[in-house]
Homo-oligomer: A and B are copies of this chain.
């Protein structure tokens, strides 16, 4: 039984941008030497997430529009109300506010995705890609992949 962890850096663009990290995850799985198991791809951030989906630019734009409609940046967010907020203060967030980014991330679900590994490869379907979603402003991010198996 083996466990193999890898960490990757990424520079995101701001807004609802998506980076295809499939090839990097596949490289890690190959490097792990694990033939069969589970790969847990994980974002340690609270305004990003990792999601398996199709990477087609029209759809990516459609989904960004949907998210913005369901969770408008222009609404009131107590998270961004500096007259009221006392916890977890991060200077860099005070200018633009990111309450909507947090709500989007929570609505989108878990921080990561677990994908079966079969015969040394990710068991992705034909259209599936592993995507890293930035829901907040441009910055340095990172993500992890933990592979567990034989």
Contact = CB atoms under 8 A, between A and B. Distances in A.
A92 interface: no
Contacts of A42: 114-116, 123
A103 B54 contact: no
Interface residues of A, number: 64
A139 to B, nearest CB: 13
B109 A108 contact: yes
**Is chain A's interface secondary structure helix, strand, loop, or mixed overall?**
mixed
The 6 closest A-B pairs by CB, nearest first: A44-B125, A109-B109, A58-B78, A116-B146, A1-B1, A59-B79
Count of identical protomers in the assembly: 3
Interface in A127-150: 127-128, 144, 146, 148-150
Interface string A66-88: 10001100000111110011011
Contact of A79 (B56, B105, B109): B56
Interface of A: 1-3, 5, 36-38, 40, 42-46, 51-54, 56-59, 61-63, 66, 70-71, 77-81, 84-85, 87-88, 99, 102-103, 105-118, 123-128, 144, 146, 148-150
Contacts of A103: 59, 62-63, 66
Contact of A111 (B61, B71, B128): B128
A58 B40 CA distance: 30
A1 B59 contact: no
Given A58-B84, A59-B78, A66-B103, A109 B110 contact: yes
